[in-house]
Amino acid sequence: MMKQFSYRHTKEAELMSNMEAVSQNPSELTEQELFSFAEFNAEEVERTGYSNYSYWRSTVQAFLKNRGAVALLALLVLLLLFTFIQPYLPGQYDPNMIINDDSGMQYRNIPPGDMFLLGTNSIGQDLWSRIWAGTRTSLFIGLSVALAEALIGITVGVIWGYVRKADFILTEVYNIIDNIPNTIILILISYILKPSVKTLIFAMCLTGWIQMARFVRNQILIIRDRDYNVASRCLGTPTWKIMIKNLLPYLVSVIMLRMALTIPAAIGNEVFITYIGLGLPVDIPSLGNLINEGRALITSPALRYQLVYPTIILSFVTISFYIIGNAFSDAADPKNHT
């Protein structure tokens, strides 16, 4: 503020003396020169205290410096695209079709080879297309859960942290929900409702949002009474504007981290629910289903490929999200911007 003021002061003085000089010696500057537009000059501009720092650009720049994370992100995007393209490629089997040979016998447990890229499972379905369909389902579950949790969690969390009256009630609600083990809610909900993708997402969000809200609330409590927020309040900024403009940008880094970690956790939860027998029906392939099918064959080494391939994809996806999330949250932290 001070800097800008003094700068304007000197600039005005300069201008005045210039004008005086011009009036004394009119031939020095023509009319056109006087009223031409100034050109953008980075150095000049910085003197006014203005900086062309953009938060998102710096974040992206910082993220791009992390080569490993960028490579993983590229691979993950390719993988995601491929799960959508794969069904339209030539020569693909339907993931639920049981494939018979000429004599009407099913192709059971065919090892990976020319005809079936990754082999077939115990009832003669093509593992390759099942894996991609499963990856699609699992990624969809993971992303939806993360998105829904973030939406609900952030909204509730900001209100919880910022509005003092809400704090007491929400803290009590948290104490109760937090003490009910997640497993119980997951199991009960997926049992009471019919197993489907929507049910699973619902059950996972039911327990997850409160953790996100709690986390956001704690962060908000730390910054809610910082000077710049007090100033905003004194100047009469509406509460919703303070929340969106002052508080939330501060939390981008930590929220992104939470979201990125929710995705692998949700995918893992899907595997867990399927494992205890309450997951998706087998005609909706998911990574959990595939791993569960593969697990049944664990005793015969020749059929182990049915377990190995889904777990490789699963591990790749979860590790990528974990690493990308960490890298992005580091990049989103203004302390790491140059």
Partner 1 sequence: MLKYLGKRIGRSLLTLVIILTIVFCLLRLMPIEGYFPNYEKMTPQQIQVGLQEMGLTDPLPVQIVRFFGELLHGDLGTSRIYRANVPVSEVLSDKVPISIKLGVLSMIVSLCVGIPMGALMARYKFRLFDKLGTVFIVCIQAIPAAVYYLYIQLYGTQLLNVGLLFDVHNPKYWILPVISMSLYNIAFYGMWLRRYMVDESNKDYVKLAKAKGISESGVMFRHIFRNAFVPLAQYVPTAFLNTVIGSIYIESLYSIPGMGGLLVTVIKKHDNAMVQGIVLLYACVGVLGLLLGDLLMVLLDPRISLGKKEGDR
Interface with partner 1, residue 71, by CB under 8 A: no
Q: Is 131 in the site for partner 1 (CB under 8 A)?
A: no
Closer by beta carbon to partner 1, 49 or else 68: 68
**Which residue's CB is nearer to partner 1, number 99 or number 223?**
223
Would you give the distance in Å from CA 268 to the centre of its chain?
Answer: 16
Query: Which residue, among 334, 335, 329, has the nearest Cα to 66 in the 3D structure?
Result: 329
**Which of 79, 87, 323, 333 touches partner 1 (CB under 8 A)?**
323
Kindly tell me which of 140 and 191 has the beta carbon lying closer to partner 1.
191
Residues from 286 through 315 that contact partner 1 (CB under 8 A): 291, 295, 298-299, 304, 307, 311, 314-315
What string marks each residue from 162 to 191 as x (binds partner 1 by CB under 8 A) or -?
A: ---------x---xx-xxxx-xx--xx--x
Provide the minimum distance between the beta carbon of 279 and partner 1 in the complex, in angstroms, as a whole number: 11
Please state the closest distance from residue 36 (CB atom) to partner 1, in A.
54
Number of residues that bind partner 1 (CB under 8 A): 36
Q: Which one of 192, 234, 235, 302 is in contact with partner 1 (CB under 8 A)?
A: 192
Provide, rounded to whole angstroms, the least separation between the CB of residue 268 and partner 1. 3
Smallest distance, partner 1 to C-beta of residue 306, A: 12
Output phi, psi for 212, to 5 deg: -60, -45
Cα distance between residue 246 and residue 24, in whole Å = 51
Task: Single out the residue of 49, 69, 47 nearest to residue 59, CA to CA.
Answer: 69
Q: How far apart are the C-alpha atoms of 75 and 67, rounded to whole Å?
A: 12
Q: How many residues are given for the chain?
A: 338
The distance of closest approach from Cβ of residue 329 to partner 1 in the complex, given in angstroms and rounded to an integer, is 14
In the bound state with partner 1, the residue whose beta carbon lies nearer, of 311 and 336, is 311
**CA angle (77 as vertex; 311, 130 as ends), nearest 5:** 40
- Within 10 angstroms of residue 148's Cβ, the number of other Cβ atoms is 19
Closest to partner 1 by CB, 22 or 79: 79
Q: Which residues of 310-324 are buried (b: 16+ CB within 10 A; e: fewer)?
A: beebbeebbebbbbb
Task: Kindly indicate which of the ranges 53-61, 116-124, 229-237, 270-278 contains the residues binding partner 1, using the contact rule CB under 8 A.
Answer: 270-278
Q: How far is the CB of 256 from partner 1 (least distance, A)?
A: 16
Residues 260, 321 contacting (CB under 8 angstroms): yes
Q: How far is the CB of 304 from partner 1 (least distance, A)?
A: 8
Least distance (Å) from partner 1 to the CB of residue 132?
18
User: Which residues in this chain contact partner 1 in the complex, by CB under 8 A?
Assistant: 171, 175-176, 178-181, 183-184, 187-188, 191-192, 264, 267-268, 271-272, 275-278, 291, 295, 298-299, 304, 307, 311, 314-315, 318-319, 321-323
